[in-house]
Chains A and B, each alone.
Chain A
Amino acid sequence: MSRIKIVNLLIICTFLFLGLSIVNLQIIQGKKFKTLSDKNCIRIMSQEGCRGKIFDREGLPIVDNELSYDLMLLPQDKREFDKVLLAVSKVLGTTQKNLKDTLKKSFVASSLPVAIAKNIDLKKAIALEELKSDFPNIIIQPRPIRHYPYGSLASHVIGYLSEIDHWRLTKLQDYGYNTKDIVGFGGIEEKYDYYLRQDEGGLLFEVDHRGKFIRVLGFRAPHNGKNMQLTLSLKAQKIVEQCLADKKGAVILMDPYSGEIIAMASFPNFNPSVFTGKLTPSITNLFNNPDAPLINRAISGTYPAGSIFKLIVATAGLETGKINSSTTFLCRGSIFVGKQEFACWDTHNYQDIIAAIAHSCNVFFYKSGLLLGAQTIHDFSLRFNLSKPIPFELPYEASGFVPSPLWKKIYKFKNWFDGDTVNFSIGQGDLLVTPLQMARVTAVFANSGYLVTPYLVKGLDQRDISNHQRKIVNLHLKPRTLNYISQGLRNAVLDPKGTGHVLSGLSISVAGKTGTAQVSHGQPHSWFTGFFPYKNPKYVICVFLENGGPGYYACVVAKQIIEQMANEGLI
């Protein structure tokens, strides 16, 4: 009977089908289901440690942590959801539907608590805790979050915290980073994330289907991140940010002998606490702002140096002997190189090296530059470590650029003309520097010949590591060279016709050089770099105003800063 045979065959086939399905489920997909099974009954109650705090040089906290509360819900008993969510929504002031959506979105497994509201303040957390007697599947989880007592102060040095992105994850996976980890972005938070980050601990335990505790499987204590002490001075930083406020630009205050950064500000800045919440419009605004508030202009912005580059040209001239103290050039307001006229900003008549620095005479440096040749200037620039990253402790440091005849030939297929040399010797043309590089160059004249390496981190978890941080290179400059140039810098302030004469009225003796760097669009960049007090320099200051106009404006900012610092007794 063929029909029976067919049915018989059918039954065999169905049994084979069942057998193969079981093989598929238990062997081929077995691992997956094993982990799912573990997920069901093994629960981790995480206990987060605190991220390391960040202190200033006096030990005052710049960034610390505060407790925030998350509302978690055990999604086991479905029937109670509506009631729980209704009660919770009343406390939180959101709609029940909103909470339900969050719950559905972040649901993982029926036994894993789902965070349905984050960063609840203490009052609401207490109110929710009281609901617990009616709804036992509510969990209020305290969680330390970053607290910024001074808001946006030193935001570029500190950086901000956010959920790890894909690019960082691929790089950091091997170091124990996971998806959804909170990591530092920019600043110290990013560079020293490995030290600052806390180690999550937790309790591993088995639960039944109602979430009832069965037994402990393991425990790991949480560890706090390491605290960091920075070289920043909160007082100085506040002054600097006050004086710079609302202008685009950067200010650096540095110890000329050690390279400690006393203050570093960049404007526009941002408030890092914006990032502790979810992706809000204000974060999107930060990223879309054309003024790039997330960029640290002090280290990541490269700009033409303008007249402050004359320090290097002067050094090159004096060191090579192409000019000396008695060399004078006549400034008639402009010179002709070939058929092209290169102007000075004034008519200075006879100028020696000291006067030329004080008056920032372009003609003097045009002529010195032509004597030296572009290659020599280029080489000296490299001795001052331009065109390279320092390397500094903050991420995204720019290297800047120093042109040379060879570079022009290779990359631009053009010859280097004397006109280029002339431009180069007053810091225009293709030259690009960062404010921090220029602060470092200035420090050489403040500390008589040493190129210091700027640094920010003074101590790590009570341990003073500044000795490891100090890297000081002797540039082996002749004392004479240094002497002439610092005199020139001082005269720039003292001389009534000096470019930095605004600063002469201060009780502190300041030496410095202004710069007005021409740009292709808009106002020139305004520079001031100098050190004070003149005799025993304590600080190097570098003020940079992006499209801030003539160097005078940078001088005014510097004046305000120095004035206030003197008032605060910092000098």
Chain B
Amino acid sequence: MKDLFRNSYFIILLISLLIASIGILSIYSSTYQKEGKFWQEISRRQILWVFIGVLVFIIFSNLNYRWLWDCTYFLYTMALFFLFLVFMLGQVRLGAQRWFKIGWFNFQPSEFVKLIILIFLSRYFSKKSTDDISLLCAKFGIFRAIILPFLFIIVPMGFIIEQPDLGSGMMIFFLFICLLYFTGVRLRYIFVFLSASFLAMPLLWHFLRDYQRERLLVFLNPNIDPLGAGYTVIQSKIAIGSGSLLGRGWLSGTQSQLHFLPESHTDFIFATFAEQWGLAGSIILLALYYLLIRQGILIARKTSDCFGRLLAFGISFLLAIQIFINIAMNLGLAPVVGLPLPLMSYGGSSTLATFIALGILVSIDKRRAVF
């Protein structure tokens, strides 16, 4: 039994299943009252996704993650291909072209692209030899350390921002910075890079869609347009705030039940949850997420293989930053960008991608002893 709790495989599966069940409960509570077949089925579909997710998790955790090294370029090409496909014939939903249909499944490639870019970067910054634990980057100049990988990244990032999905685009950017930091690129370079990006921001402002600018402005002051762009943030804050200590109880809570809160089963699922379960529930959820991320970091620290370690860090960080941005956005502390809350939000792509990432994490932990 004691071994069981030391076993990362078991812990990660347990925590992720717990969070996923909480998510399913919240999705059910926010949709069961809506009319229409689609809404009635939505929680069952999420159960199916979690089920598939767990299968994928088991498969990936039993695979040797090193094969990812071998097919990195293939994956990268696939990512570009899919993004291009979305760009050409994706479905327009909620004002964005992020999905395309495979059978009954709305496939959202950007969720997977994040992971692929992570793998790509991990490979770029590590050596093939598993014995050599020294990092490459210490010797890299600024071109090889930053500019070259950035050029690789900017293509998929551009596609994603063009969809438009500013959230995922920014995610990839953050991920890049983070991996730069982990791989030991000189701080000086990172600093130069960050300042350059900072200076480029006014330029980027130019390329943003109107609604994205609006959202950023609304983030600064949600009351400038309480009926329009600020509406969601205000409603979300009201939902969370009215939860108080113990919440309003499952299936009650007027904000989510009477549909004042838009996107209450996807991006704003945290608000739905917090309204119903209050501070107690929210803190428990945060704790679960933290334990999950901590597992990732523990695995990374134990791994001597460069590729594996970077990958494990990357995955933990990917989760952490998504969770952070999503919850902060629910609390009105971050601009509203379309980022799902991993494992909680409804969505097949996101759920699968997260389970795959967790599977890889466990796989890294398992293979560690081999080398």
Chain A interface residues toward B at CB < 8 A: 1, 3-4, 7-8, 11-12, 14-15, 18-19, 21-23, 25-27, 29-30, 32-34, 36-38, 40-41, 75, 78, 107, 110-111, 206-210, 214
Contacts and interface: CB of A to CB of B under 8 A. Distances in A.
4 closest pairs, A vs B, by CB?
Answer: A33-B241, A37-B242, A208-B258, A30-B244
5 contacts: A22-B279, A22-B282, A27-B245, A33-B242, A40-B260
A12 B294 CA distance: 9
Nearest to A14: B324
B227 interface: yes
A100 to B, nearest CB: 11
B245 A26 contact: yes
A3 B297 CA distance: 12
Contacts of B255: 37, 40-41
Contacts of A29: 241
A18 B327 contact: yes
B150 interface: no
B209 interface: no
**Chain B contact residues: helix, strand, loop or mixed:** helix
Contacts of B245: 26-27, 30
Contacts of B320: 11, 14
B226 A107 contact: yes
Nearest to B278: A26
A34 B244 contact: yes
Contacts of B289: 15
Contact of A26 (B241, B258, B301, B317): B241
B338 interface: no
A3 B331 contact: no
Given A4-B313, A209-B258, A26 B182 contact: no
B227 A36 contact: no
B239 interface: yes
B168 to A, nearest CB: 19
B32 to A, nearest CB: 14
A11 B244 contact: no
Nearest to B247: A26
A36 B254 contact: no
Contact of B331 (A11, A12, A22, A75): A22
B172 interface: no
Given A21-B333, A30-B241, A41-B260, A11 B282 contact: no
A109 B240 CA distance: 17
Given A26-B241, A36-B238, A41-B254, A4 B283 contact: no
Nearest to A31: B244
Given A27-B279, A40-B260, A41-B258, A22 B274 contact: yes
B283 A209 contact: no
Contacts of B235: 40
B259 interface: yes
Interface string B225-249: 0111001000101111111110000
Contacts of B182: 3-4, 7
Interface centre among B239, B241, B259, B320 (most CB of A within 10 A): B241
A12 B316 CA distance: 13
Contacts of B293: 11
A30 B181 contact: no
B286 interface: yes
B258 A214 contact: yes
Interface in B302-341: 313, 316-317, 320, 324, 327-328, 331, 333
Contact of B244 (A27, A40, A78, A206): A27
A206 B258 contact: yes
Contacts of B178: 7
Contacts of A210: 259
A19 B286 contact: yes
Nearest to A11: B320
B114 to A, nearest CB: 18
Contacts of A27: 244-245, 279
A110 B227 CA distance: 7
Contacts of A207: 258
Contacts of B243: 26, 30
B90 to A, nearest CB: 24
Among A3, A25, A29, find the residue whose CB has the most chain B CB atoms closer than 10 A.
A25
Nearest to A214: B258
B149 interface: no
B184 A3 contact: yes
B260 A22 contact: no
A107 to B, nearest CB: 7
Contacts of A40: 235, 238, 254-255, 258, 260
Given A107-B226, A206-B254, A209-B258, A15 B286 contact: yes
Given A33-B241, A34-B242, A78-B227, 10 more contacts: A4-B297, A7-B181, A7-B297, A8-B297, A18-B286, A18-B328, A27-B279, A107-B227, A207-B258, A209-B259
Contacts of B241: 25-26, 29-30, 32-34, 36-37
B214 to A, nearest CB: 13
A531 B262 CA distance: 78
B19 to A, nearest CB: 14
B290 interface: yes
A207 B245 CA distance: 25
A151 to B, nearest CB: 42
A34 B254 CA distance: 10
A202 to B, nearest CB: 19
Given A4-B297, A29-B241, A209 B260 contact: yes
Residue in A34, A78, A209 whose Cβ sees the most chain B Cβ within 10 Å: A209
Contacts of A206: 254, 258
B256 to A, nearest CB: 10
A231 B237 CA distance: 59
Contacts of B226: 107, 110
Contacts of A32: 241
B240 A75 contact: no
